[in-house]
Amino acid sequence: MLWVNRIVGVALIVFCAALWQISDDYPEMARLFPRVMFVIIVFFSVLMVGRTFLPAAAAGGSGEGGANPAVMVRPILAFVATSLALAASSYIGFFLAMAVLAAVLVPILGIRSLRWYAFATVVLLVAVYAIFVVVLNVPLTLRPPVL
Amino acid sequence: MTFRISHIAIAAAAGFSAVALLSAGVEPARAEFPDKNLTLIVPYGAGGGTDIGARLLAKDLDPLIKQPVIVQNITGGGGWTGWGTLAAAKPDGYTLGLLNAPSFYMGYLDPKLGRKERLESFTPLINHVIDYVVVTVPPGSPYKSLKELVEAAKAKPGSISITAHGVGGDEHLAIMALERMTGAKFKVVHNKATPESKAQVLGNHVQVLACNLSEIVTEVKDNQLRVLGVMSPTKSRFLPESPTFKEQGYDLEASVSRGIAGPAGLPKDVEAKLVEWLDKVVTSKEHQDKADSLFLELRSIKGDAYRKFLKDNEQTVKDLMGW
Amino acid sequence: MDTLLAVVADAFTPFHLSMMLAGVVIGLIIGAMPGLSSNLGIALMLPMTFGMDPISALILLTSLYTSAIYGGSFSAILLHTPGTSASAATAIDGFALTRKGEFNKAIRISTFASVVGGLSSAIALLAIAPPLSLLSLKFGPAEYFWLAVFGISVIGTLASGNMIKGLVSGAVGVAISTVGLDLDSGYPRFTFGFYDLQGGIGFVPAVIGLFSLSQALLMCEKPHNTIQEVDPTSGGKWRLLPTWAELKFTQATIWRSSIIGIIIGILPGAGGDIGSWTAYNEAKRFSKNDPDFGKGSIRGIAASESANNATTGGAIIPLLTLGIPGSPSAAILLGALVLHGMQPGRTLFTEHAHFTYTVCVGFLIANLVMGFVGMAMCRYMGVVARLPNTILIIAVTVLSIVGSYSLGNNIYDVYTMMAFGIIGYLMRKTGFSAAPMVLGMILGPLAEQGFRQAVQLADGPVLLHMVANPISWVLVSLIVLSVGSAAWLELSRSKLTDVMAEK
């Protein structure tokens, strides 16, 4: 966690400096408050980074989930798959894209018992169709627009 | 093999284009408009004033055209996500939307915001609702008339605070017009929504409440607010005792108006049909009764007159904001 | 008087009752599933309420809120895995009782305590909110500024985990809230040429990303649950209400914890998890003579469960009157209110009084319904709590996408949700809590607008105007108090972590 705090702290300081520059053109009252917040963020970031050099203070704030960075492979793959499915949905239709996403998640998550998973996915998509498309008139594309 | 396939492909392509041509040729004689449901884009969220008015309209339009009218709230970008979608929609009359003036001018008139759409990106069909700006004070306020307020604001420029809802909004434009006409100067306090402004005025933090008439009829009847002036050409039906600006010697009008528009380039026949139907709804007795319960004044301004109305409004905004 | 009757009659219409029941059942299920919190439940259900009238929508969501917090106790007691973070303290004594084969007793006490906590908070809501709303007119821009600053200072200090990280997260949330057209000058701030950013960063999509999608991603780490199995058949005798002896033993704890819960609920940003830990620690101090405490005492369950449900009504009090959410879940409820065209403040108790009181009465009844439904369903809750993570992952992901899209039929909202989803996941991995960021996004505009309007309205020196009102003095002292106690809290945090480590 030591290095995470340092990296995040420094990144936030750099970010705030860049945004400070950007806000230069804004009217005075419009940029005052964001700039106050940048100063506060930088102040806390310095504190956060500074604390990591104090031997006594614990770096604090352990994260959730597994500590080994290797556990993040599945979530990141799943996120990428979801993003791609979202991008694909404008070509192949929303529901097909979600079904493909569900299928792609099988190897990513290492699902073995397919029967329940497939059943749950179908129930989910039918429920989404019934609630959002039929009742709420949300224009989710049912089939590929090219067809 | 390849030879054959390409032949088939060419034949298929030819067949396809023939069908396409044919169907294009058949187009004018297509089934009566509309033969499927209409979508009415509301650029603001469900439950707001624009949404309530639009749903009222959709409900009454529905039986007339014998097709469902589906209200779709497309929010974001200060309304422009919805208007952008409307401008980009296929001009076939099946996608219509609500146009809010003057809120919608800012997105393209203000060079900082730089939208590419213009008023010309839309086909204005009909105006639906017009809600005039009204200037009110709490009962205990020292200002008994509009004149007293203006004189006080002239005597000590910038000492009197008044509410508005954002730069370029109808109240802000109205205040600027009043300032320009009289030389008075106000301290304009912007809030996101009228309830916030009301609370500030009722709690005596801000002195004058400028908002739309439909939003304060209840308070005025309960004697929580006193009207100094309504910025309408004639007295409002909902507040028949409240004087207009004009009656007090200030020839100013200001309002927020909401109408229906389609994307630019609607077929003439479709446009004419839509205007006719919409006018029937807007001028009908039942529709008026429903609008009355919301203190909304209906004003049907059709076709080219509506286009001119919007263009004139645009010019006013340009002049006042210096864009 | 007839308005009161009308309100009660309206709360009891079949449709509203069925919304209440739906909210309670969905809340119980979501709460019982480890990892799915009340925040996630409200954020995902919010878009589905669009077709409804505001009363039904808010009844559904508030019922879901209280019931999800109660539902978390089932998995805490049955599986030693708190269904929501608000039930973490329950797991200590609850699971110890289950091990002893007395899980029915544990559920009975947790249900009773939850219902009493929820009911007392609903009564507090009905008693405190209307007079407080009158006071709300006294809050001018300067007072709102101090109130928002107070809220931000409380969030940071009370955020679970590391204090500085909580403050960083909150400050970043405030900074995010400045994106979009500036109301006062009409200037587009930090939009980088994107039209979609001109309207600001959507609050509800951001919340769905931070709370829901991030949870789905976190669950991807361990898609196959490994949960301790305890045979639930040897759970002792089922009873709807606690025995007289159990009542006598726990009643003082329940009352004390309910009051603690209500107060913590009212505090901006502090929700069920902080309420339950505080009440648990208090109960521990009062239970020196109870050798079982921490090892299967019903007092431990009663303290934690009555307090966490008591925070729900408490959190709604400042939400309705001042627009300041008392907990992260209340922040999402604020989003729901605004989406249904209701602005918090005095008008909710005048113009929209019927709406407000019906929702509050509905919330009160929902707490009772929750108890009966919970006791009836308790046999099956173990199954619900063990639903495979893989199914939850796909369900939460799809519902996050559909939900954020249906808010405004705007694909940009989905992108916002996705971005905040991955940010939220990385934040949780690195120990930054998402809740302060969410509250910062709500309190930021209040603070900025309050400050700028105060500057405008000040006739003399700005600072004098800012502290002209006694309400400001109170708020400034509260800020000093909360910041001053922050250091003390940070030191004693290690103690609290010890308690949490015991679970």
Tell me the CATH number at B227.
3.40.190.10
Looking at the complex, report in whole angstroms how far the Cα of residue C122 sits from the nearest Cα belonging to chain A.
31
The pLDDT of residue C437 is above 80 = yes
Question: Is residue C1 assigned to a domain?
Answer: no
Query: Do B120 and B188 fall within a single domain?
Result: no
Write down the pLDDT at residue B16: 44
Same domain (yes/no): B229, B271: no
Q: Are residues B147 and B233 in the same domain?
A: yes
Q: Domain range holding C124?
A: 14-139+146-236+244-502
Measure the N-to-C terminal CA separation of chain C; round to a whole number of Å.
49
Counting as contact any 3 or more CB pairs under 8 A, the partners of A are: B, C
- The first and second tokens of residue B24, run together, are 């294009």
Split into its structural domains, chain B has a count of 2
Counting one residue from A and one from B, how many pairs have CB atoms under 8 Å apart?
4
B70 in contact with chain A, both atoms CB, cutoff 8 A? yes
Q: How far does the CA of residue C242 sit from the closest CA of chain B (Å)?
A: 45
Are B136 and B242 in the same domain? yes
Question: Rg of chain A over CA atoms, in angstroms?
Answer: 23
Helical pair C214-221 and C411-429, crossing angle rounded to 10 deg: 50
Of the partner residues A78, A101, A121, the one whose CB lies closest to the CB of residue C217: A78
The pLDDT, as a whole number, for residue C503 is 36
With CA atoms as reference, the chain A residue closest to C401 would be A86
Interface test with A, best of C45, C394, C489, C500 (most A CBs within 10 A): C394
Same domain, B142 and B225: yes
Average pLDDT in chain B: 87
**Model pLDDT, residue A57:** 52
- The boundaries of the domain holding residue B284 are 38-129+256-321
Q: Of the candidates B76, B191, B202, which has its C-beta nearest C137's C-beta? A: B202
Bridge partners of A46, per DSSP, are none
Question: Among candidates B61, B42, B62, which has minimal Cα distance to B52?
Answer: B42
Range of weakest confidence among B252-256, C197-201, C419-423: C197-201
Interchain pair A125, C217: CB under 8 A: no
Q: What stretch of H or E contains C225? A: none
Residue B204 confidence class, pLDDT cut points 50, 70, 90: very high
**Which position has the token pair 């502090």?**
C270
Q: B19 pLDDT band (50/70/90 cuts)?
A: very low
pLDDT at A55 over 80: no
At C496, the amino acid letter reads: L
CB B210, CB B171: distance < 8 Å? yes
Q: Residue B230 falls within a domain, yes or no?
A: yes
pLDDT band for position B1 (cuts 50, 70, 90): very low
The answer to whether position B156 is within a domain reads yes
Are both B118 and B216 inside the same structural domain?
no
Residue of A nearest to B68 (CA): A137
Are A63 and C430 in contact (CB < 8 Å)?
Answer: yes
Shortest distance, CA C126 to any CA of chain A (angstroms):
33
Q: What is the number of structural domains in chain C?
A: 1
Q: What band does B25 get if pLDDT is binned at 50, 70 and 90?
A: very low
Look at residue C232 in the predicted model and tell me its pLDDT.
55
Strand C188-189 relative to strand B187-190, pairing:
unpaired
In a domain, C422, yes or no: yes
B68 and B150 part of one domain: no
Q: Give a yes or no: residue B66 inside a domain.
A: yes
Considering chain C, what is the average pLDDT of its residues? 88
Smallest CA–CA distance, residue A130 to chain B, in Å, is 17
Regarding whether B202 and B310 lie in a shared domain, the answer is no
Burial class (CB in 10 A: 0-12, 13-18, 19+), C248: exposed
Single-letter code of the amino acid located at C73: S
Q: Residues B153, B238: one domain?
A: yes
Q: What distance in Å separates the CA atoms of residue B208 and residue B189, rounded to the nearest whole number?
A: 10
Q: How confident is the model at residue B179 (pLDDT cuts 50, 70, 90)?
A: very high
For residue C24, tell me if it sits in a domain: yes
Residue C468: pLDDT over 80: yes
Q: What is the pLDDT of residue B9?
A: 46
Query: Is residue B295, in this structure, part of any structural domain at all?
Result: yes
Q: Which of B177-181, C111-115, C378-382, C463-467 has the lowest mean pLDDT?
A: C378-382
CB distance from B81 to chain A under 8 Å?
no
Residue B52 belongs to a domain with what CATH number? 3.40.190.150
pLDDT in tens, B112-151: 888 889 999 999 999 999 999 999 999 999 999 999 999 9
Q: What is the pLDDT of residues A58-116, one digit of tens each?
A: 545 567 777 788 889 999 999 999 999 999 998 899 999 999 999 999 999 988 888 88
Are B267 and B211 part of one and the same domain?
no
Q: Is the ipTM of this complex over 0.90?
A: yes
Is it the case that residue C457 has pLDDT exceeding 60? yes
CA–CA dist A23, A16 (Å, integer): 10
Q: Is residue C3 part of a domain?
A: no
- Predicted confidence (pLDDT) per residue in B75-117, tens digit: 887 888 899 999 999 999 999 999 998 989 988 998 888 888 9
The residue ranking higher by pLDDT, A54 or C493, is: A54
Instruction: Give B229's strand partners.
Output: B135
Position C234 scores a pLDDT of 61
Q: Beta-carbon neighbour count of residue C290 at 10 Å?
A: 17
Determine which of C33, C162, C457 to mutate to test the interface with A (most A C-beta atoms within 10 Å): C162
Beta bridge partners of B208: B162
**Given an 8 Å threshold on Cβ–Cβ distance, is B112 in contact with C449?**
no
| Whether B46 and C339 lie within 8 Å, measured CB to CB | yes
- The predicted structure's pLDDT at residue C464: 85
Q: In whole angstroms, how far apart are CA B91 and each of A123, B83, B120?
A: 38, 14, 13
**In a domain? residue C383:** yes
CB contact under 8 A, B199 and C186: no
Residue B29 placed within a domain: no
Please name the residues between 204 and 223 in chain C that touch chain B, using a CB distance below 8 Å. none
- Greatest mean pLDDT range, C110-114, C244-248, C407-411: C110-114
Domain end residue (candidates: B213, B248, B283): B248
**Of B220, B248, B276, which residue sits at a domain end?**
B248
Closest residue by Cα to residue B191 from C347, C453, C325, C151: C453
pLDDT confidence of residue B76: 81
Residues B275 and B268: their CA atoms lie apart, in Å, by: 11
Q: Which of A38-47, B70-79, B209-218 has the lowest mean pLDDT?
A: B70-79
Mean pLDDT of C90-108: 88
Select from B204, B222, B248 the last residue of a domain: B248
CA–CA gap between residue C263 and residue C248 (Å, rounded): 24
Q: Which chains touch C (3 or more CB pairs under 8 A)?
A: A, B
Report residue C356 as tokens: 């407000």
